[in-house]
Amino acid sequence: MCGIIGGIYQNNITPILIDGLKYLEYRGYDSAGLVVLTNDNVLQRVRAIGKVVNLENNINSEIINGTIGIAHTRWATHGKPSTKNAHPHICNDSIGVVHNGIIENFLELKAQQQAQNYIFTSDTDTEVIGHAIHQALKKYGTLLKAVQSAITTFQGAYSLGVISPQNPGHIVIARSGSPLIIGLGDNGNFIASDQVALISITKQFIFLEEGDVADITKDSVIIFDKNNIKVEREIKISKLKNWQTSKGNYAHYMQKEIFEQPQAISDTLESRITKDKVLTLAFGHKAEIIFKKIKHVQIIACGTSYNAGLVAKYWIEDIAKIPTHIEVSSEYRYRNPIVLDNTLFITISQSGETADTLEALRVVKKINKNIHSLTICNNSESSLIRESELIFLTHAGPEISVASTKAFTTQLVSLALLSVTLGKCQQQISQTQEKVIVNGLNHLPSLVAKALEQEDQIIELANTFKDKFNALFIGRGSMHAIAMEGALKLKELSYIHAEAYPAGELKHGPIALIDKNTPVIAVAPNDELLDKLKSNLQEVKSRGSQMIVFEEESSKVTPMQDMNILSITNNLGRITAPIIFTIPLQLLSYHVALIKGTNVDQPRNLAKSVTVE
């Protein structure tokens, strides 16, 4: 994905563009650029490789001044990171365009445009957009009609911001498959991929719907739907606060977001539970009727959200006794799945814009009309929210760091609430059982806060990874999914090759990898599988591995040579344990990354939300 910001302002737009790009840098940081329409009605562009600060430094040495502009921070899809591939792209000094998404038929369009003597100066798919709009502008005369015409030739996903000296005073935008919003200000109007880029300017936002095109001036916003019919879209007031998008006193966004988890979990539970029960209405007014009919559950997600879904499989089958399957979205959508009637199709996504997850939902709705859909998401205005029958919003707040932390734990909390609710509706859980689980959930924020107090000890453990290049994570039952999340965080942040296995699977191959140079990290709650896990730890130690064991106090793992044991907390249940044991794994990955000297908030090659395939 990439980040877009633009606007029409009463003063110089450039500082607003730069400031917005900094907030959007989590969406991509291979390169950045901006173009403004100067007071002389000329498109003036600056681009730079790498982070937004490089662009800012270039601008300091040039005069970039205008009231209309668009800007972009890129996560490369077509064409490697380079100045020539950075956005904005300009066609014949007449069209400036920024683009998030992928034009799948760009090679076909490129061949046609080259035959029409259009010159290409980059390796990107975006240039065909500028050329197509330029060609349409010659025919229709207005930028709005040119964009409306050009997008009918595009196949794929896009959000676009377009300006032209031939239509000064206007920005035309379009959305299909990639998010784009409009910010309404007192001294102008603005566009962005995410409201965090504009929150210091305005609290009023319009969220474009699929297929929308909008013509924006300093004083007006006119929106057309996919049929080119003029429509009104609701103006929404953002509850986002400026402090939520800043690092505050923390060194990194990730560190801040790790320590925000007690509050994020508390916010996600608020108004969803009482002291002894889960409120079914939290999932929507139709939830109880739907949940009583459910015979199967299918979970679809990617990355960290997939790991959350793996935990939920254990919970739902254990508590609600409903057969539950989970699959990676990108695989599910490209096979021919069998979708049974009365299936609850659950999508999980922090952003609600994950392309493969969104398309999987669309595919399954076409396959079987007798299914019900639920999305668990952190973005109330996302595409998944709009296209799902039932919604459950996590209240994680803005998550800026690419590596997910509080979004993951609030997803787990949400899935725990769902598991209990399904159990009630299926009459598989008693009031006493529900009360016990809810009591554990009510204690979660304080348990997470206690786990965070272990940071100093975890820093000492992280120092042992200074010269390591491989690591194994092990767990049993739902803790295997937590081990997977721990491995994912370590590889994302520190670039250490890390894998996770069910502890009982080691003898079937992975144990061959274990030696003194490959640390093994184990998660050891005091559950019904603890004795078997202890046997697995003995197997690992006999191969000479350095070990780290995060245990529940009552687990009492026997210390061995080169084994570091850290007690996290005690009296955990099947619901609270996976959430609590996530915390030390996050802290370990964070501090190993610091020791390795990697970019914690913006790991190489990664973007926060994958809005393209």
Q: Which residues are catalytic?
A: 2, 608
- Cα–Cα dist 38/301, whole Å: 45
Of 206, 202, 218, which is closest to residue 175 (Cα–Cα)? 206
Is the distance from CB of 343 to CB of 372 less than 8 angstroms?
yes
Of 456, 474, 585, which is closest to residue 538 (Cα–Cα)? 474
Q: Quickly list H helices, 388-430.
A: 406-425
Sequence-distant (6+) residues with CB within 8 A of 537 are 503, 522, 524, 547, 549, 557, 560, 563
- Cα–Cα dist 206/184, whole Å: 8
Is the distance from CB of 283 to CB of 384 less than 8 angstroms?
no
Of 468, 412, 459, 463, which is closest to residue 440 (Cα–Cα)? 412
- Cα–Cα dist 162/185, whole Å: 19
**Coil, helix or strand for 180?**
coil
Of 358, 360, 349, which is closest to residue 302 (Cα–Cα)? 349
Q: How far is CA 499 from CA 352, 392, 513, 522, in A?
A: 27, 31, 11, 12
Q: At what angle do helices 576-596 and 478-494 cross, to 10 degrees?
A: 20
State the pairing for strand pair 66-74/31-38. Answer: antiparallel
